[in-house]
Amino acid sequence: MNDEIPETHPRYKSLVIRERLRDFMEKGIVVPEGLIAHGRGEAFDYIFGEASQDFALESEKAAISLLMLSKNPVITVNGNVAALSYKEIVELHNVTGIKVEINLFHRSDERIKKIAELFQREGLTEIYGIHADKEIPGLVHNRRFADGNGIYSADTVFIPLEDGDRAMSLKNMGKKVIAIDLNPFSRTSITADISIIDEITRTIKNFIKIYEELKNLNESELKEILNKFDNKKNKVDAINLICEKLRYWQTDQKPHL
């Protein structure tokens, strides 16, 4: 994929992602603020060992169950999400039928067009949010614009790499919220019904595998998975792992998780 970064480098994947974000910034899809937001996520991922931990896989299984049970689920994408995972998101749409809506804090017609083209080239024909005709109550910034046939009328909104404001406003509208955020302390992670504390590229790839495992389950079996899932416990597990890792680096004792 890249000539200059050797695959043996211990931070190979992380360096490839950085390079990808830089390339997509040059294309006008990622904004500079997106690079800073990514850095916050990276810091947490460093502590998590750059791997999907058990608490992440549990939440991903619950998230797929909820998406399969939802009547009108929508995934909302910003520049970073599009740059890092547009192919996998189209694959997820193809298997689950989830709608894809573009929603940007730094919104411009040109950026929306570029992001839409990325998905269209991958074969996605219906993209929401291009002509956002509704406003999410309680928000004043650009992320308030929503598509009446997309996020606005969705029963479940899947919001990778969010700002907490919108997650809270969507909850106030009575929607179920699934979030991906490596930071278990963010308002998004605190607000979501299902908080996936994992890196986005790993998460979406895991989703497709988990969907294959769950696709033949019936409604009550999916509901059972959801009922057994404990979002609060999961976040506590993530925070405990952070504490253990920090202690380990202080004392050289191996973390349990």
- Using CB under 6 A, list all residues that contact ligand ATP: 37-38, 40-41, 44, 161, 163-164, 180-183, 186-188, 199-200
What value does the CA radius of gyration of the chain take, rounded to a whole number of Å?
18
Burial of 203 (0-12, 13-18, 19+ CB in 10 A): buried
What is the rounded end-to-end Cα distance, in angstroms, of the chain? Answer: 32
**Between residues 187 and 245, which has the closer beta carbon with respect to ligand ATP?**
187
The dihedral over CA atoms of 223, 159, 13, 119, expressed in degrees to the nearest 10, equals 110
CB of 183 to ligand ATP, least distance (A): 4
Distance CA(119)–CA(7), nearest Å, equals: 28
Q: Name the residue number minimizing CB distance to ligand ATP.
A: 41
**Between residues 75 and 200, which has the closer beta carbon with respect to ligand ATP?**
200
**Between residues 19 and 163, which has the closer beta carbon with respect to ligand ATP?**
163
Distance CA(220)–CA(59), nearest Å, equals: 18
Write the CA distances from 1 to 16, 51, 87, integer angstroms.
Answer: 8, 20, 15
Nearest one of 119, 68, 84, 57 to 200, comparing CA atoms? 84
Distance CA(100)–CA(113), nearest Å, equals: 14
**Between residues 205 and 223, which has the closer beta carbon with respect to ligand ATP?**
205
Take residue 19 and report the two structure tokens written for it. Answer: 């390079």
CB of 251 to ligand ATP, least distance (A): 27
Distance CA(76)–CA(15), nearest Å, equals: 25
CB of 144 to ligand ATP, least distance (A): 15
CB of 95 to ligand ATP, least distance (A): 21
**Between residues 58 and 181, which has the closer beta carbon with respect to ligand ATP?**
181
**Between residues 14 and 149, which has the closer beta carbon with respect to ligand ATP?**
14
Nearest one of 40, 97, 49, 91 to 72, comparing CA atoms? 97
CB of 45 to ligand ATP, least distance (A): 7
CB of 187 to ligand ATP, least distance (A): 4
Take residue 82 and report the two structure tokens written for it. Answer: 């599009």
**Between residues 29 and 161, which has the closer beta carbon with respect to ligand ATP?**
161
CB of 83 to ligand ATP, least distance (A): 10
